[in-house]
Amino acid sequence: MKTYTGKLTNLEPNQIFVFGSNPQGRHGAGAAAVAKQLFGAKSGQGRGLMGQSYGIVTKDLNKRRHPSVSTRDIKREIDELYEFAKDSPELEFFIAYAGKGALLSGFSPKQMASMFARKEIPGNIVFEEEFYNLIKSI
């Protein structure tokens, strides 16, 4: 499995920045803001491919309590990402989750890692090194 370290600020043309999003498509903080500023995430679009970015809904801004999106729904988003990655072998998908620190979704890195780990991971998915170590430990 390919991994990366550090913050993603540049991508090759065949690389996609995958970030946690919200159904409202407001990309104002964290990796979502990076996706909007650097990789083509569009205001008003919360999921799927946008330029060189791909949003998976992990937080609902209309709900005051977090986590605000169920693990079932996030798993469905990850399943759709994995299918898209399998159908797009010419692309690499860089998952913008780190192995430590707080996540805006309200889930811990370990909880998110368990959602990514539950199915076979396509070979063109690239994780941050510490996040991948969490996936391997599950």
Note the pLDDT tens digit of each residue in 16-50. Answer: 999 999 999 999 999 999 999 999 999 999 999 99
CB 93 within 8 A of CB 81: yes
pLDDT digits (tens, 9 = 90+) for 77-134: 999 999 999 999 999 999 999 999 889 999 999 999 999 999 999 999 999 999 999 9
pTM (2 d.p.): 0.96
> Within 10 Å of residue 79's Cβ, how many Cβ atoms?
14
